[in-house]
A and B are shown apart, each in its own frame.
Chain A
Amino acid sequence: MAERLIEVKDLEVKFHTEDGVVNAVDGVSFELQRGQVLGIVGESGSGKSVTAMTLLGLTRDSNTSFGGEVIYKGRNVLDMNEDELQDVRGNEMSMIFQDPMTSLNPVYSIGMQIGEAIRVHQRADKAQARRRAIDLLRQVGIPNAESRVDNYPHEFSGGMRQRAMIAMALACNPDVLIADEPTTALDVTIQAQIIELIDRLKDEFNSAVILITHDLGVVADVADEIIVMYAGRVVERAAKRPLFYDPQHPYTWGLLGSIPRLDRPKQERLHSIKGTPPSLIRTPKGCKFRPRCPHAFDKCMEEPRLENRVEEPGHLDRCWLSVDEKRRLRVPTLEGTEEAA
């Protein structure tokens, strides 16, 4: 039985703003085991990044309120004070941010920035931290690590900066590695390198990974389980194969259908999800996806619960359509054979 590292129960994150309350995360639950890769997928504004940042206590603010629990090794992260959190953050749980250009400090050398976590958390001296930084750079595949360690971020290319970010996140052998859109700013070739690297390092460091992305193609290789988020809510949750081969929620179909497929003949028109994600201050009544859903009907005015509706245990979704209807209705979207609107 794998060791359970994180258990998130009914997590709610609300931002109190001048315009009203933003329900950024609304009742999200999941578990993460050691050695597992969890993919969190959704569009901008679906709450996926806020969920991840909350796990590290990065969304704490006087205008933020939380609900539910984030249990990490038996303790609720939401109840920890700043000192306790400091011990966990960057040490046992760490994060790789989306944009390596802006998340590195331009006035410190790469080695200093990687070494900082080691000096703080493991009370290492400067020389030890430097040696460790060189090791880490080598592990993430930076050539000439001994000389590169003294470079500044502007001397690195985009892909190398992202590798340096990963080295930094791995500095203290974290149990949980959270990667927030780690490849979105990168070329496809570099994206393939980075995803492969994260997958390999997960095994080497024996940690668990949360991989956040808007592109289901990115998680098709590495994720074990996938959560699809929409407007702060989980709309579907399943192991990788059921999610790709038997997707239950129309939003998931839309995400899958939007990707131009190299493995198929060229489509005349790409599927697109109409409109834009709703404002999280005034979310639609009933099912949050209803206004954009081509299959919405009367019952959708009431919000469905996230529950298991298919044969596969553990495959949860939030949609009123019957399983048979879903399997029929999704075909044109998934196969790209629908008529041009």
Chain B
Amino acid sequence: MKYAFYPGCVARGACPELYEATIAICSKLGIELDTEAMKSASCTGAGVLQEKNQRLGDTLNARNFALASKSGLPLMTICSTCQGVMSQANQRLTGDDKYLSEINEDIAEEGLRYDGNVDPRHLLWIIVEDIGIEKLKSTIVRPLKGFKMAPFYGCYLVRPTSALGFDDNPGREDSLERVIEAVGAEVVDFPGKTLCCGFPILTINETNSMNMVANHTMDAKERGADAMVTPCPLCHLNLDGFQPKAAASRNTKIDLPILHLPQLLGLAMGLDPKKLRVNKHIMSTKKLLSQLAVAP
């Protein structure tokens, strides 16, 4: 199956490892990525631009949807935040004809028009809905038996359920757990898995942000997690990049590797960890990889 690939800003910025790992696993899963269709797409606004001007955010997203629509391909994201922001914008755009036609006036000059016919979906949802858990299992050559993985969704991929189509697709609720189980690992369930990583307030209230990182990573670790897995690069930036600072604020070491979802899948698919750039994290993945006996 072919998708219009929208990687988002972070996978091409501070988390290039996510981009590489995605490309690597998609070919294994039979997901064909059109990397040209969304080349001129803009940032979704990440919920931040919307704080200043929601209409502007909706117009940028309508333009992105129009680009996807023009390609005739379903739209795929690899970022929980992009997914949520797009879904929420789509809910407003498709729920109000007058609003959509006004927005269309503002993107018309480029020859674009959005008819409300795009359904943006995260790679995680595409795996469980289009590819299927069975097909995923068939690509696994190195099952992660004996490993305990803590899921961390990212707020925008779980709330608000009304915008994210959970009613029509109830399987989205535990999709990450099912994928973790499919690769042979054990799920570490903990209350923080659907809560905030603290990234949105990192520059606003760092103390609160660090407390969130510490609470979630320490809780997962205490419950026996070998690593945490996230479909959101923004969560990754905080949980991985700021884990040393969060640990220091509690006078402790946490040392919990944080994997991007495609990296987890790639390791179980037997791909080279270097190709997946698992070694390009702030929190060392050496111990995890040596336990897997695939140290780069």
Same complex origin of A and B: no
Identify the A interface with B (CB < 8 A): none
- Chain B residues packing against A (C-beta within 8 Å): none
